[in-house]
Amino acid sequence: MDTSWVDFANWKVFITDTNDADSDGIPDFTDPPASAQTAVSLDGWSYHVWPWVYNDTDKGWVYYSFVNNNWAAWRQKDGKWYSFDASSGTWNSN
């Protein structure tokens, strides 16, 4: 039966998962696998509105900052900071 008002408009569903082995405030089921890669490739073409850069290879936004005479990048996809290792030419998570 149809009603003249919106049904269930004020309902909220909260899911509480207390499994958080690394105590980062994010439930374990959404954490990346333990074998997750710690270095990322930011090669390829990019669109930028400095200091934000969209990297096509990574398919995500990266925020660049020059800190302590070294480049750092915050990757939106995983919410982590990466530093550039010039000797290996890789970005590694801190």
- Which tens digits make up the pLDDT trace of 15-57? 777 787 777 777 777 766 655 445 667 777 777 778 898 888 8
- Mean residue pLDDT of the chain comes to 78
The verdict on residue 83 lying in a domain is yes
The verdict on residue 55 lying in a domain is yes
Which carries the bigger pLDDT value, residue 43 or residue 74?
74
Instruction: Yes or no: say if 31 and 85 are a contact pair by the CB < 8 Å rule.
Output: no
Instruction: Yes or no: say if 74 and 80 are a contact pair by the CB < 8 Å rule.
Output: yes
Q: What is the pLDDT of residue 87?
A: 84
The verdict on residue 6 lying in a domain is no
The verdict on residue 69 lying in a domain is yes
The verdict on residue 81 lying in a domain is yes
Q: Enumerate the β-bridge partners of residue 40.
A: 91
**How many structural domains compose the chain?**
1
Q: Which domain holds residue 78?
A: 37-93
Strand ranges (DSSP E) for 1-94?
Answer: 39-40, 46-49, 52-55, 60-67, 70-75, 80-85, 90-93
Average pLDDT over every residue of 71-87: 88
Q: What is the pLDDT of residue 32?
A: 65
